[in-house]
Amino acid sequence: EVRLVESGGSVVRPGGSLRLACAASGFIFEDHGMSWVRQAPGKGLEWVSGIDYNGGRARYADSVKDRVTISRDNAKNTLYLQLNSLRAEDTAMYYCARDKSSASPEYFLDWGQGTLVTVSS
Amino acid sequence: SYELTQPPSVSVSPGQTARITCSGDALTIQYTYWYQQRPGQAPMLVIYKDSERPSEIPERFSGSSSGTTVTLTISGVQAEDEAKYYCQSAEVFGGGTTLTVL
């Protein structure tokens, strides 16, 4: 059974930083691209960032570029998202998603249950 | 980047057919994928590559494509199908369509 378990979300002040993690199990982690997708309260889905199977290539949405870094540790089966210079509009549930492809994004076979990031003073 | 446009809402009675559209210029050259999201849950893939269905998804879910528009069709809608549906192509998601089962 595929499992994706996100952690690291919390309440943070504007301008602050957070590191999200996604622990993966039930599949060969190093074979798949991975992405982070977020959803602001009551809003739709927004792709944030993706990384290919070996971490060689990362991609970012324009809305977070220069403030976010995606990375992965294939030895630990874990995906990360470093969020810096956080703004109120970054408030959202952040989902980790397994891509069908070795790159990302193509499409998402599995999703975690999400971790909530709230940016508020 | 580009946009994917979905109707905000679709309503059908149980047993009827629901059709949810997704429009975008890039859809003539890129595949589209559909996700179902029930309240309080993570999204779930229901259609991939325009019209392919994962094995665990009921046969009443189907997809089709014509030009710049793709369509998710749910035949014989059931109460459990009430959810929000999102199309996706590459890094872009549509705004989502709320399916209400009357």
Q: What is the DSSP letter of B89?
A: E
Residues 6+ apart with CB under 8 A from A42: none
Q: What is the DSSP letter of A17?
A: -
Residue B59 CB neighbour total at 10 angstroms: 8
Residue-wise pLDDT for A60-114, tens only, equals 999 999 999 999 999 999 999 999 999 999 999 999 999 999 998 999 999 999 9
Q: Which residues of chain B make contact with A52, given a CB cutoff of 8 A?
A: none
Residue B26 has pLDDT above 90, yes or no: no
Distance of residue A18 Cα from the nearest chain B Cα, in angstroms? 22
Across the interface, whether the CB atoms of A45 and B88 are under 8 A apart is answered yes
As a whole number, the mean pLDDT across chain B is 96
Identify the CA nearest to A93 among candidates A17, A19, A6.
Answer: A6
Q: What average pLDDT does this structure show over B66-95?
A: 97
Residue A36 has pLDDT above 80, yes or no: yes
Residue-wise pLDDT for A38-58, tens only, equals 999 999 999 999 999 999 999
CB pairs under 8 A, 24+ apart, for A108-111? A108/A35, A108/A37, A108/B33, A108/B35, A108/B43, A108/B45, A108/B88, A109/A2, A109/B45, A110/A2, A110/A4, A110/A27, A111/A4, A111/A37, A111/B42, A111/B43, A111/B44
A67: tokens are: 């403030």
Q: Check the CA dihedral A40-A44-A48-A53 and report its sign.
A: positive
Q: Which residues of chain A make contact with B86, given a CB cutoff of 8 A?
A: 44-45
Residue B5 has pLDDT above 80, yes or no: yes
Written as one letter, the residue type at B25 is D
Across the interface, whether the CB atoms of B93 and A105 are under 8 A apart is answered no
pLDDT in the model for residue A52: 97
Across the interface, whether the CB atoms of B44 and A111 are under 8 A apart is answered yes
Residue B96 CB neighbour total at 10 angstroms: 22
Residue B1 has pLDDT above 80, yes or no: no
Largest distance between two CA atoms of chain B:
38
Across the interface, whether the CB atoms of A113 and B44 are under 8 A apart is answered no
Distance of residue B15 Cα from the nearest chain A Cα, in angstroms? 27
Distance of residue A21 Cα from the nearest chain B Cα, in angstroms? 17
% of chain B with per-residue pLDDT over 90: 93
B13: tokens are: 């009675």
Rounded Cα distance between A21 and A24, Å, is 10
Residues 6+ apart with CB under 8 A from A111: A4, A37, A95, A96, A97, A98, B42, B43, B44
The confidence band for B2, taking pLDDT boundaries of 50, 70 and 90, is confident
The confidence band for B28, taking pLDDT boundaries of 50, 70 and 90, is confident
Identify the CA nearest to A24 among candidates A82, A94, A89, A72.
Answer: A72
Can you tell me whether residue B59 is helix, strand or coil?
coil
pLDDT in the model for residue A49: 98
